[in-house]
Amino acid sequence: MPEPLRAVEHELTALLRRGRAISWEIAREVHPNLEPNAYGLLLWLRRCGSIRLTELAVRLGIGKGTLSRQIQGLEVLGLVRRDPDPTDRRAWQLSLTEEGQRRFDAARSSRLGQIWRTLEDWPAQDLADFARLLSRFNDAWV
């Protein structure tokens, strides 16, 4: 196995460990009872505005049943709502509530501040390259 591949694995492990810790913190900022992995769902909903559960499940690569249970938890917390899909009355469109948007945006602002403080000394080209390479890596997993 090539040494650079081992180095990538090591750095990814460190990044994921750090990411889990940050996810706990930021989830608590959004809502004290929010599960850490739910922040990613909120991010997708904020980005999409409104999306069908089936489409979101495909984008996230998780089962509809699992996603439905997670969405129900977010509904109970008042962060997400389901509205009838105007093109198919059998389906639902998911979106953040106003409270969900407000809480998410405040927590995201805090998270972006943390990222900025970590990367503010990086040259602009390094930052652009890092974003491009992370995107390339993440796109390869789809």
- The residue range of the domain holding 61 is 3-140
Q: Alpha-carbon dihedral of residues 72, 77, 79, 85, nearest 10 degrees? A: 30
What's the pTM value of the predicted model, to 2 decimals? Answer: 0.77
Which residues lie across from 92 on neighbouring strands?
84
Assess whether pLDDT exceeds 70 at residue 79. Answer: yes
Distance CA 120, CA 114 (A): 10
Q: Give the CATH number, domain containing residue 49.
A: 1.10.10.10
The secondary element (H helix, E strand) that includes residue 131 is: helix 124-140
Query: What would the mean pLDDT of 110-124 be, rounded to a whole number?
Result: 91
Angle between helices 98-119 and 3-30 (to 10 degrees): 140
Q: Is the CB of residue 95 less than 8 Å from the CB of residue 106?
A: no
Predicted local distance difference test score (pLDDT) of residue 127: 95
pLDDT tens for 42-63 read 999 999 999 999 999 998 888 9
Split into its structural domains, the chain has a count of: 1
Distance CA 142, CA 137 (A): 10
Distance CA 93, CA 73 (A): 16
The secondary element (H helix, E strand) that includes residue 81 is: strand 80-85
